[in-house]
Amino acid sequence: MDFDVIVIGSGLGGLTAASRLAILGYNVGVFEQHFIPGGYATNFKRKNYNFDVSLHGIGGLEKGGSVYNILSACGVMQKIKPLKNKEAYSVKFNKDIYDIPNNKDEYKEFLISKFPLEKIKIEKLFNAIGRFSNGFNRFILEQDKSIFNVMHKDVLLFIKWSGKTTYEVIKEYIDNDDFIKLFTANWSYYGLPPKELSALYFFIPWISYHVHGKYYIQGGAQALTNAFVEVIKNNNGLVYLKSMVQKILTDGEKVNGIRLNNGDEFKAKWIISNVNPINTYKMLPKDFLSNSEMDKINNSKIGCTLSQLYLGLDCNPKDIGIEKEEIFFLGKVSPQEDYELALKNNYEEAGFLLTNYNAMDSTLNDDKNGVITMTYIDNYDYWSKNKEDYLKQKENVTARMIKRLGKYYKGISKHIVIAELGTPRTMEKYTKNPLGAVYGYAQYVDQAGKHRLKKETSVKNLSLVSAWTNPGGGYEGVMSGGIVEAQRISKHLEKN
């Protein structure tokens, strides 16, 4: 069968591109190696428990927000039910638990109440974030590229922040490490501590959360993925599961199809690879990409991986004191030291994120079937390739994580029915991402924005759409990349 566009992989970036192109009238085929679509955006079941693999919350889902606009353009918004989080998240800071408000004005007042001596500086920081948001809209989203728009003071601020780390930006306004630690408590969402994380990848989602609201999707990540798949199929597209692509076929200088592991071939006018660029390159004939692209693919530093402990309880989490939706348990040290502890696999002292899915979505599981997860940044190299040693490591780390959780919630181990640990090697197994990476290339300043691998390649009619390419990782990042590339491909195909 011939297609206008073939998408290799069914992560959210690929599904966004596929659904948008299908709505625009193109004949689309999606090929996924796994038996369920979605990449990291999936659910899995054990006994009577429904576990969400990765979704904690999505920003920008209120009307007018970036994600709302993307999902509306893809025909998905009307097929899902967003559930607004009570708070953006909570933070275990020293001996207290603080609830971080969704609303930016309430958040500002909260911070002033905790740091009254920094009141004027906090107000200046929030004012600057507003200017950064306006600069982002003018520079990236608006069509007006006149010199007057590009040289606008808010655009210049956006460009300035784009070249700085999160820590450098905040410290310009508030030189208080306790404030920075609390303000950036959710840095692990993005895979790097504030002193290494590009300011772009902290402040753009910050704006989505605190201006347009942070939400969970009823039914979990799989419900979002299924909505994309439904749109594709309803618009005459096809989604093939358990269909591993072996080769990207070429005709001269351009791509023109794919070959599956079973030998089946499919032709297309355009190929979108939602697979990581390292594996995409291996599907192409030798030396097909330009030298500069190959250098970037091979020499960019891969981002962090995670370990997640999925726990099924015999009670509702609130019955044993877990009432918040999400809590970041911060270490007693700085974010930088906390990150280094995580890379040393110090599960006893490194910070972690506790997610209570019953509090976010009461329909995901029965009231008495509690589901919580513990999420740690982890080090891929720690985990043995030897199966026997690996299983022993999983057992050991599971026990250590549960013991750590028991320090905060006494007797929790007695309520655990299921304990399923997803390790960096689990991440690699199901997504084929090298080193089990969850954000693609690390989101450093020199690997952010315009410095990130481009979606458009030197190979004619081949695009890359994933966390590894511009604009970056996370639900909002990959969906943004997917729809932007879909629009570009549509214009090209229409022109021809």
pLDDT at position 150 is: 66
pTM exceeds cut of 0.85: yes
Nearest to residue 279, comparing CAs of 17, 33, 15? 33
State pLDDT tens for residues 139-191.
Answer: 776 655 665 566 789 999 999 999 999 999 999 999 999 999 999 999 999 99
| DSSP category for residue 101 | P
Q: How far apart are CA 350 and CA 332, in angstroms?
A: 9
Examine the pLDDT at 137 and tell me if it is beyond 90. no
pLDDT at position 147 is: 57
State pLDDT tens for residues 83-106.
Answer: 999 999 999 988 899 999 999 999
Sequence-separated contacts (24+) of 407-411 with Cβ below 8 Å:
408/92, 408/329, 409/320, 409/321, 409/322, 411/320
Show the domains of the chain with their CATH numbers: 2-77+218-300+454-494 (3.50.50.60), 104-213 (no CATH), 305-431 (no CATH)
Say if residue 471 is preceded by a cis peptide, omega within 30 of 0. yes
Q: Using 50, 70 and 90 to split pLDDT, how confident is the model at 240? A: very high
Q: How far apart are CA 44 and CA 373, in angstroms?
A: 13
pLDDT at position 495 is: 66
Overall average pLDDT of the 17-43 stretch: 97
Q: How far apart are CA 62 and CA 209, in angstroms?
A: 10
Q: How far apart are CA 203 and CA 200, in angstroms?
A: 6
Query: 190-199, 216-225, 449-458: which range is least confident on average?
Result: 449-458
Q: Counting Cβ atoms within 10 Å, is residue 102 exposed (0-12), middle (13-18) or buried (19+)?
A: buried
Better-scored residue on pLDDT, 444 or 288:
444
Q: How far apart are CA 362 and CA 269, in angstroms?
A: 45
Q: Using 50, 70 and 90 to split pLDDT, how confident is the model at 252? A: confident
pLDDT at position 141 is: 63
State pLDDT tens for residues 371-428.
Answer: 999 999 999 999 999 999 999 999 999 999 999 999 999 999 999 999 999 999 999 9
| Alpha helix ranges (H) inside 238-334 | 277-283, 291-299
β-strands 245-251, 462-464 pairing: unpaired
Element of type H or E holding 99: strand 96-100
